[in-house]
Amino acid sequence: MFTGIITDVGRVAELSHAGDLRARLETAYAPQGIDLGASICCDGVCLTVVDRGTNGAHWFDVDISAETLSKSTLGRWKVGTPVNLERALRLGDELGGHIVSGHVDGTALVAAQEDVGDSTCMTFVAPDGLAKFIAPKGSVALAGTSLTVNEVEGAQFTVNLIPHTKTQTTWGQIATGDHVNLEVDTLARYVARLDQMRDAGA
């Protein structure tokens, strides 16, 4: 589990295809503190560490399946692509965002952005079937970042990004027309499922 609070912006250092896509990510995380098999959220996608740097080399490797590539933006990674990173939540850690599983539901289109004071209001279009899980003042994870929804109209929804978020994550480099990984709130999913079951039994 994760919280959507980004703790490092890594960089894609290498990409190779050997069955699955393997990516090497440079990071500020100390390699000796990363266990093989550990989970790290990369742009909102929970990935398993399969190798790591030694002798002070700050990198880790992950394998990315075809299913993950089909549901996320990771297939667009290139060498040099910046990546939002978050280590898995540990018992006793502060829950500063909301519960994020790292199981991306799809990608959202950045439809527009407008500066409002020091913040930026960004408008997104959710994929078919996911808009019903997004509610005003609810939570979403976009590119791995926990954000609060402002308004919802059909498949469109807006969020505000404060300057700190734009400078400490990849959001300062995301442009209109880009796609970002979207994970809807887990609670919203279960509520919708319960409503569906109730209606089916009515």
99 pLDDT band, cuts 50/70/90, is confident
Q: How much is the mean pLDDT over the chain?
A: 92
Give the pLDDT mean for 103-117.
96
Domain ranges (residues) in the chain: 8-87, 106-198
CA 74 – CA 42 distance, rounded (Å) = 9
CA 115 – CA 79 distance, rounded (Å) = 30
Question: 49: which 2 tokens?
Answer: 């560490």
CA 20 – CA 86 distance, rounded (Å) = 22
Is there a common fold for 8-87 and 106-198?
Answer: yes
Question: 87: which 2 tokens?
Answer: 């280590």
pLDDT tens figures, 154-188: 999 999 999 999 999 999 999 999 999 999 987 76
Segment (H or E) for 187: helix 186-201
Q: Which fold has domain 106-198?
A: Elongation Factor Tu (Ef-tu); domain 3 (2.40.30)
Which pTM was predicted? 0.91
Q: Measuring CA to CA, how many Å separate 188 from each of 17, 44, 76, 103?
A: 36, 18, 29, 14
pLDDT at 91: 66
pLDDT above 80: residue 13: yes
Q: Report the DSSP beta bridge partners of residue 17.
A: 21
Q: Report the DSSP beta bridge partners of residue 8.
A: 85
Is the Cα dihedral 183, 186, 191, 193 positive or negative?
positive
pLDDT at 48: 97
CATH of domain 8-87: 2.40.30.20
